[in-house]
Amino acid sequence: MATITDILHFATTNSQFTRKELIAYLEKQKQTVSPNALSIQLDRLLKNNELLRLERGIYRLPATSQRNFIALISDEIRKLNLQLKEQFPFVNYCVWSSKTLISYMHHIPNLNHTYIDVEREATESVFRFLNENSNSRVFICPDSENFDRYINGTESIIIRTLISEAPLQLLNGFNTPTIEKIMVDVVRDVEFEFMQGSEVSNFYKNVIEQHTINNRKLMRYASRRGRRQQVEDLINKIL
């Protein structure tokens, strides 16, 4: 079922949108869309001043909210979160989708990956659990060769190591990546090799134009990953 968070995620990457466009987006993300439930959620956002109605069926975020990044939480991601929360209640992890990247990219790749970033000590356990309980293909910390050979272009769940003190944010009770985490991860992680060169520059440009970036948080995480200079160079090209 589509939630308020799903609506806000769509709104953050669209200066204005119609109800029809929102429904098409939610259905494309394989969300269950009830017209009555959607009307209730839109009305709630309007009453709380989290959304503005420009005219009948046309909406946008208030100017002060357009800078906030909200990760996509699809029904699939919600289901995975609930499974992991029940099976690994004391493990720190976050689940997110490659679809989160698409609205910031110039060339739209054929991506359908779900990333589960989890504490190093639990990666094997999470991998075994999902391998036995998921219909999707599951991979653990692939290298570049294995990614190109077995994963690229296929629907997959990818278990990745969650770096300690990685910047996360809580949405609907689930950990999701902040935009600062994503900005650092896409620079050199094997799963994002398709974004190197001009594509990663376009990604940075669009993210910076659309969202407020916590520079201290960004640089601290970049330093922990040994990527501070690369991140600074990308930002300096844009500013």
| H or E stretch covering 24 | helix 19-28
Domain boundary among 65, 84, 103: 65
**Per-residue pLDDT band at 66 (split at 50, 70, 90):** low
**Per-residue pLDDT band at 64 (split at 50, 70, 90):** low
Same domain as 124, residue 61:
no
Number of structural domains found in the chain = 2
Same domain as 164, residue 122:
yes
Same domain as 171, residue 224:
yes
Q: What is the mean pLDDT of residues 113-125?
A: 97
Same domain as 213, residue 99:
yes
Query: Which residue in the block uniquely carries the two structure tokens 């499974």?
Result: 83
Q: What is the mean pLDDT of residues 114-141?
A: 96
Same domain as 209, residue 116:
yes
**Tokens at 160, concatenated:** 């990745």
CATH number, position 31: 1.10.10
Provide the terminal-to-terminal Cα distance of the chain, rounded to the nearest Å: 40
pTM score, whole prediction? 0.79
Domain boundary among 65, 86, 105: 65
Same domain as 60, residue 110:
no
Same domain as 44, residue 132:
no
Q: How many CA atoms lie within 13 A of 71 on its CB side?
A: 27
- The reply to whether 70 falls in a domain is no
Same domain as 183, residue 83:
yes
Same domain as 155, residue 200:
yes
Domain residue limits at 20: 4-65
Q: Which of 45, 47, 109, 115 is nearest to 80 (CA)?
A: 115
Query: Which residue in the block uniquely carries the two structure tokens 């004391």?
Result: 90
The pLDDT assigned to 172 comes to 81
Cβ atoms of 195 and 203 within 8 Å: the answer is: yes
Q: What is the mean pLDDT of residues 86-96?
A: 96
Same domain as 95, residue 23:
no
Same domain as 81, residue 51:
no
